Amino acid sequence: MPDPSPRAKARRLAIAQAALTCLQRGGYAKLTARKIAAQAGMSPGHISYHFANMDEVLSEAYILASSRLRQAEETLLASTFTPALRLEAFLAAGFTPDILAPDHLRMRVDLWSVALQHPTIAATERALYDRYRTALTQHLTALSSPAKTAQIPAVADLIMATLDGLWLDWLRRNDAGAVANGLRLCLALARAELGA
Predicted pLDDT at 2: 60
Domains of the chain listed by start with CATH number: 1-51 (1.10.10.60), 67-194 (1.10.357.10)
Please report, for residues 139, 153, 166, the alpha-carbon distance to residue 143 in angstroms, rounded to integers and kept in the order given: 6, 13, 23
Per-residue tens of pLDDT for the chain, all 196 residues:
566 788 888 999 999 999 999 998 988 889 999 999 999 999 999 999 999 999 999 999 989 888 877 887 888 777 777 899 999 999 999 999 988 998 888 888 888 899 999 999 999 999 999 999 999 999 999 999 999 999 999 999 999 999 999 999 999 999 999 999 999 999 999 999 998 5
Predicted pLDDT at 1: 52
Q: What does pTM read for this prediction? A: 0.85
Query: C-alpha dihedral over 117, 122, 123, 125, to 10 degrees?
Result: 170
